[in-house]
Amino acid sequence: MADIQIHKKKSTAGRTFIRVAVTPKSAETLKLLRQFQAGVKEFEKNWKATKAYRDARKTKAKKKKSAK
């Protein structure tokens, strides 16, 4: 059996950071960890494809450009 530790932290900017540690480092637990990481990457890819994300990036770039 694996000991899974999940450390979740929310920042004031509305971001959530998740750190996952799995011990012992058996082949089975590493496989599960890789599946989890792949799922996170897929979620991130889908999120970046949304209109809200693109609009937020454009707004951020405009603010940065106007501040100079």
DSSP state letters, the chain = --EEEEEEEE-TTS-EEEEEEEES--HHHHHHHHHHHHHHHHHHHHHHTSHHHHHHHHHHHHHHHHH-
Domain map (residue ranges) of the chain: 3-67
The tens place of each residue's pLDDT in the chain, 68 residues long, gives 567 677 788 877 777 787 777 777 778 878 888 888 898 889 888 888 888 888 988 999 998 888 77
The overall average pLDDT reported for the chain is: 81
The pTM score is 0.52
